Protein backbone atom coordinates (compact mmCIF):
# COMPACT_ATOMS: atom_id res chain seq x y z
CA UNK A 1 0.00 0.00 0.00
CA UNK A 2 1.35 3.40 -0.95
CA UNK A 3 1.78 5.92 1.83
CA UNK A 4 -0.41 8.44 0.00
CA UNK A 5 -3.10 7.46 -2.51
CA UNK A 6 -4.66 9.90 -4.96
CA UNK A 7 -7.23 9.47 -7.70
CA UNK A 8 -5.32 10.29 -10.91
CA UNK A 9 -8.38 11.57 -12.75
CA UNK A 10 -8.33 13.22 -15.20
CA UNK A 11 -10.97 15.65 -14.00
CA UNK A 12 -12.67 18.06 -16.38
CA UNK A 13 -15.03 20.80 -15.14
CA UNK A 14 -16.66 23.92 -16.61
CA UNK A 15 -15.40 27.35 -15.59
CA UNK A 16 -16.96 28.51 -12.33
CA UNK A 17 -17.49 24.99 -10.94
CA UNK A 18 -16.44 23.89 -7.47
CA UNK A 19 -13.66 21.32 -7.66
CA UNK A 20 -12.96 18.70 -5.02
CA UNK A 21 -9.61 16.87 -5.04
CA UNK A 22 -8.97 14.09 -2.57
CA UNK A 23 -6.23 11.89 -1.12
CA UNK A 24 -5.96 9.26 1.56
CA UNK A 25 -2.90 8.34 3.58
CA UNK A 26 -1.92 5.33 5.64
CA UNK A 27 0.63 6.61 8.16
CA UNK A 28 -1.06 7.97 11.28
CA UNK A 29 2.21 9.72 12.21
CA UNK A 30 1.87 12.19 9.34
CA UNK A 31 1.39 15.69 10.74
CA UNK A 32 2.00 18.01 7.80
CA UNK A 33 -0.15 18.00 4.70
CA UNK A 34 0.54 19.90 1.52
CA UNK A 35 -0.98 20.53 -1.85
CA UNK A 36 1.29 21.30 -4.77
CA UNK A 37 0.21 22.55 -8.18
CA UNK A 38 2.20 21.53 -11.21
CA UNK A 39 1.71 23.11 -14.62
CA UNK A 40 2.74 21.16 -17.69
CA UNK A 41 6.53 20.88 -18.00
CA UNK A 42 7.12 22.85 -14.79
CA UNK A 43 8.18 22.00 -11.27
CA UNK A 44 5.63 21.56 -8.46
CA UNK A 45 4.81 24.75 -6.58
CA UNK A 46 3.38 24.85 -3.08
CA UNK A 47 -0.28 25.82 -3.03
CA UNK A 48 -1.48 25.07 0.49
CA UNK A 49 0.09 23.76 3.69
CA UNK A 50 -1.72 22.58 6.82
CA UNK A 51 -0.60 21.15 10.11
CA UNK A 52 -2.68 18.39 11.75
CA UNK A 53 -6.47 18.37 11.34
CA UNK A 54 -8.77 21.15 10.28
CA UNK A 55 -9.39 23.59 7.47
CA UNK A 56 -7.24 26.27 5.93
CA UNK A 57 -8.54 28.80 3.45
CA UNK A 58 -6.59 30.94 0.99
CA UNK A 59 -8.68 32.87 -1.49
CA UNK A 60 -10.56 30.40 -3.69
CA UNK A 61 -8.69 27.43 -2.21
CA UNK A 62 -9.57 25.46 0.93
CA UNK A 63 -7.48 22.58 2.27
CA UNK A 64 -9.10 20.16 4.66
CA UNK A 65 -7.53 17.37 6.74
CA UNK A 66 -9.48 14.73 8.64
CA UNK A 67 -6.95 12.72 10.64
CA UNK A 68 -9.60 10.37 12.02
CA UNK A 69 -10.31 9.06 8.52
CA UNK A 70 -6.84 9.85 7.09
CA UNK A 71 -8.42 11.95 4.37
CA UNK A 72 -7.00 15.06 2.69
CA UNK A 73 -9.06 17.36 0.46
CA UNK A 74 -8.54 20.45 -1.63
CA UNK A 75 -11.53 22.52 -2.73
CA UNK A 76 -11.34 25.12 -5.48
CA UNK A 77 -14.23 27.59 -5.71
CA UNK A 78 -15.11 29.48 -8.88
CA UNK A 79 -12.61 27.46 -10.87
CA UNK A 80 -10.75 29.27 -13.66
CA UNK A 81 -9.03 28.01 -16.82
CA UNK A 82 -5.75 29.08 -15.20
CA UNK A 83 -6.39 26.41 -12.53
CA UNK A 84 -5.84 23.72 -15.18
CA UNK A 85 -2.85 21.77 -13.86
CA UNK A 86 -1.91 18.61 -12.00
CA UNK A 87 -2.51 18.77 -8.25
CA UNK A 88 -0.29 16.72 -5.96
CA UNK A 89 -1.02 15.98 -2.32
CA UNK A 90 1.87 15.22 0.03
CA UNK A 91 2.35 14.29 3.66
CA UNK A 92 5.25 14.03 6.11
CA UNK A 93 5.99 13.28 9.74
CA UNK A 94 7.47 15.93 11.96
CA UNK A 95 11.25 15.90 11.61
CA UNK A 96 11.26 13.29 8.84
CA UNK A 97 13.03 13.71 5.51
CA UNK A 98 10.81 11.70 3.21
CA UNK A 99 7.87 13.70 1.85
CA UNK A 100 5.36 11.21 0.43
CA UNK A 101 3.44 12.28 -2.65
CA UNK A 102 0.26 11.11 -4.28
CA UNK A 103 0.47 10.42 -8.00
CA UNK A 104 -1.36 13.64 -8.84
CA UNK A 105 -4.79 14.53 -10.29
CA UNK A 106 -4.88 16.28 -13.64
CA UNK A 107 -7.54 19.02 -13.70
CA UNK A 108 -8.85 20.80 -16.77
CA UNK A 109 -11.17 23.79 -16.40
CA UNK A 110 -13.07 24.42 -19.61
CA UNK A 111 -13.91 28.06 -20.48
Residue 44 binds other proteins, judged by CB under 8 A? yes
Annotate each residue in 52-81 with x if it binds other proteins (CB under 8 A) or - if it does not, as one string.
------------------------------
Nearest to 15 by CA among 77, 81, 62, 86: 81
Report the chain's terminal Cα–Cα distance, integer Å. Answer: 37
Span of 9-17, 53-61, 65-73, 91-99 interacting with other proteins by CB under 8 A: 91-99
> For residues 6 and 79, which CB has a smaller minimum distance to other proteins in the complex?
6
Asked if residue 67 lies in contact with residue 52, where contact means CB atoms within 8 angstroms, the answer is yes
CA atoms within 13 A on the CB side of 91: 28
**Residue span 1-30 as binding mask against other proteins, x where in contact by CB under 8 A, dash where not:** -----x-x----------------------
Encode burial over 18-33: b for 16+ CB neighbours within 10 A, e otherwise. ebebbbbbeeeebbbb
Q: Which residues bind other proteins (CB under 8 A)?
A: 6, 8, 32, 34, 36, 41-46, 49, 51, 88, 92, 94, 97-99, 101-104
Amino acid sequence: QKEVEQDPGPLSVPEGAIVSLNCTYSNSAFQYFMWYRQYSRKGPELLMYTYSSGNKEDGRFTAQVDKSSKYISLFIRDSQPSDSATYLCASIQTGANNLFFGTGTRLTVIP
